Chains A and B, each alone.
Chain A
Amino acid sequence: MSNEIKIAEDIVLLLLGVDDKPIKGDIHLQKEIFLLTKSNPKLQNLFNFKKHIFGPYSQLLADIVEEPLYHDKVFMRVNSNLLLTSQGKSEFKKIKNDQDSKKIVDELEKVVSLIRSIYDKLSGDELLFLIYATYPEYLEKSAVSDKLFKNKNMKKRIVSGLLSKGVITESRASELLRVEI
Chain B
Amino acid sequence: MKDFVGDNSFYSCYLNDIDKPDVLIIYLDSFKHHIGPMIKNEMSCSANYCKVKSHKNLNYFPETNLNISAIVSPLFSSEERHKGEQEVLSVAYMTYCLNHDLIIVIDEKGPRNIIINNIQCLTPYLTGTIGLLVDSVENYKILNKDDALNLLSEIENSNFRVSANILSQAKKRLMGS
Interface residues of B in 31-86 (CB under 8 A from A): 64-68, 70-80
Report if B131 contacts A (CB, 8 A).
Answer: no
Looking at the assembled complex, report how far the CB atom of A140 sits from the nearest CB atom of chain B, in whole angstroms.
Answer: 19
A124-140 vs B, Cβ < 8 Å mask (1 yes, 0 no) = 00000011011000000
For A115, the chain B residues whose CB sits under 8 A away are 71
Interface magnitude class on chain A: 20 to 34
| Interface-located stretch among B10-18, B113-121, B143-151, B163-171 | B113-121
Encode B119-148 as 1/0 by CB contact (under 8 A) with A. 110000000000000000000000000000
Q: Is the CB of B114 within 8 A of A169?
A: yes
Q: Smallest CB-CB separation from B115: which chain A residue? A: A166
* A118 at the binding interface (Cβ < 8 Å): yes
B88 CB to closest chain A CB (Å) equals 13
Interface pair B72/A171, CB less than 8 Å apart: no
Which residues of the other chain, B, contact A172 by a CB distance below 8 angstroms?
A: 75-77, 80, 110
Residues of B within 8 A of A63 (CB): none
Q: Are B74 and A110 in contact (CB under 8 A)?
A: no
Main SS of the interface on chain B?
helix
Tell which of A31-39, A52-60, A73-81, A151-159 binds the partner.
Answer: A31-39
**A45 near B: Cβ within 8 Å?**
no
The distance in angstroms between the C-alpha atoms of A154 and B93, with both chains bound, is 33
A2 beta carbon closer than 8 Å to chain B = no
Chain B residues contacting A110 (CB-CB under 8 Å) are 93-94, 97
A38/B70 contact (C-beta < 8 A), A166-B117, A167-B117 known: yes
Chain B residue, CB-CB nearest to A43: B66
Query: Which residues on B sit within 8 Å (CB–CB) of A117?
Result: 118-120
Q: How far is the CA of A5 from the CA of B64 in the complex (A)?
A: 23
Q: A107 with B64: in contact, given A38-B71, A166-B114, A166-B117 (CB under 8 Å)?
A: yes
User: Is A150 an interface residue when CB atoms closer than 8 A count as contact?
Assistant: no
With known contacts A39-B70, A110-B97, A167–B76 Cβ distance under 8 A:
no
Q: A40-B65, A131-B74 are in contact. List 9 more A-B contacts (CB 8 A).
A: A35-B71, A39-B66, A110-B93, A111-B68, A117-B118, A117-B119, A165-B117, A169-B80, A172-B75
